[in-house]
Amino acid sequence: MNSIGARKSGQLVKISSADVALAVSELAAMCEDIEPDQVTQRQAFKRLMPSLRAMRELGCSWEQLGKLLTQCHITLKASTVRAYYAEMSKEGADE
């Protein structure tokens, strides 16, 4: 029976610590740059929060924000916009 990481000949394949550190660094950088083809409404809303917050501070209503999002193909009711906004504002305060 072969153990994990062992070849049939019994010799372990070894990788240098420097190569592992490089892989960790490179994969972490890639994770920041990767964009999925689709995201949930909640994920999209979270990414839009800085702009939405600025619009709220300028006096936009929940209905106005909902209409603006709909123009961007993100269809949310005003009540959902308000709920997501409150939830994500609270998350930001908790961090």
Residue 11 has pLDDT above 90, yes or no: no
Residue 8 has pLDDT above 90, yes or no: no
Confidence of residue 95 (pLDDT cuts 50, 70, 90): low
Is the CB of residue 65 less than 8 Å from the CB of residue 78? yes
Q: Output the CA angle 30-34-38, nearest 5 degrees.
A: 160
pTM of the model: 0.60
- Burial string for 18-56 (b: 16+ CB within 10 Å, else e) reads eeeeeeeeeeeeeeeeeeeeeeeeeebbbebbeebeeeb
Q: Which amino acid is at 1?
A: M
Give the mean pLDDT of 44-67.
95
Residue 67 has pLDDT above 90, yes or no: yes
Residue 2 has pLDDT above 90, yes or no: no
